[in-house]
Amino acid sequence: MRITHVLSGALLALGLAAGPAAADSSPSPGATDDGAPTRAGTSFRTATEIDQEQQATASGSTGDYLYWSFAADAGQRPNIRATVKLPDAHGAQTWQLDVYDGLRRRQACQYGAQTRTAAEGAATVEAACVLRTVRAWSEPWANDPLPGTYYVRLTVVNAAPADLGLPVSAEVRVESKEIGGSAAVDGSLAQPLVPGISVASDSAADPGEDGSVKSAVLSSIEPDGGWSSGWWSDRWVWTAVGGALAALAGIGGYALTRGPGRPSRIPPGA
């Protein structure tokens, strides 16, 4: 009996030791091979960061709140689309897509059906939201979209109690249209509305174990090429072209109104 207990204990110890090694060798469940996220957060603080033009997926249950976050810069008009794959058997359900800015202010959709109802037995339901153009600067009392982090929340708002908890899967994609100088304003934010940006300084950062300085930014995502903060737009080009055309018009007008040269007052032969 004692030998049996010893062998059983040794086998159990080997199994516990091999368990973490096997877990470490498995791939991360949070992203695909191309880096696209495969899960969503459950709150603003745990929202999964995604890049624009990236297809994010997640699995959950009916009744869960699914959160993603992305970065939008001045001059962009974000278009958020979500598709929910429903279980085979279910009743009528209403799903809603909400978008919030870096201050967690709910942003209205310029157009798009952000609330959609799926009929009983429907395979999928789709929702979309096209935000207003992101402005480089705005009045403090206004609710205009500003450069920074944006949060996407997807959830069911009306479902039968029997459907709550049923497994679902969701796909979210964000694309933006560059509006250009027609949306430019005379001003820019000192910093984009990114959570934690107020403490992202060298004085507030703590050195890591390797001696490197790590800032306390809660969101690390930003647009390709960094934040422009509205300092450049094609309005500069049109302003320069307009100035050049005005100068040419002034020169032409002067040449037309000047007339022929004045006759000489000196009598001939003098």
Pick the more confident residue, 125 or 217: 125
Pick from 141-150, 170-179, 205-214, 218-227: least confident: 205-214
Number of domains in the chain: 1
Task: Name the more confident of 210 and 7.
Answer: 210
CATH number, position 67: 2.60.120.380
> At residue 10, what are phi and psi to the nearest 5 degrees?
-65, -45
- In a domain, residue 261? The reply is no
pTM over 0.85: no
pLDDT by residue (tens digit) across 64-113?
999 999 999 888 999 999 999 999 999 999 999 999 998 899 999 999 99
Within a domain: residue 27?
no
Q: Are strands 148-158 and 66-72 parallel, antiparallel or unpaired?
A: antiparallel
The closest alpha carbon to 53, from 30, 39, 72, belongs to 72
Among 112, 180, 121, 208, smallest CA distance to 152 is for 112
Interval 160-175 mean pLDDT = 95
Three state DSSP letters for 92-128: CEEEEEEEECCCCCECCEEECCCEEEECCCCCEEEEE
Cross-strand bridge partners of residue 156: 95
Q: Is residue 111 part of a domain?
A: yes
Q: Is pLDDT at 42 greater than 50 in this prediction?
A: yes
Which residue range forms the structural domain that includes residue 173?
A: 32-231
Would residue 220 count as lying in a domain? yes
- The region of weakest confidence among 9-23, 46-60, 126-140, 223-237 is 9-23
What gap in Å lies between CA 270 and CA 240, rounded to an integer?
52
Please check whether residue 264 lies inside any domain of the structure. Answer: no
185: Cβ contacts below 8 Å, ≥ 6 apart: 135, 136, 137, 138, 230
Nearest by Cα to 41 from 71, 69, 67, 70: 67
Give the pLDDT of residue 198. 42
Start-end of H helices in the chain: 2-25, 235-258
Q: Is residue 71 part of a domain?
A: yes
Question: Domain for residue 42, yes or no?
Answer: yes
CA distances from 49 to 37, 89, 174, 185 (A): 8, 32, 12, 28
Q: Residues 48, 36: contact at Cβ < 8 Å?
A: no
Residue at 15 is within a domain: no
Question: Identity (one letter) of the amino acid at 265?
Answer: R
Pair of tokens at residue 142 = 């206004």
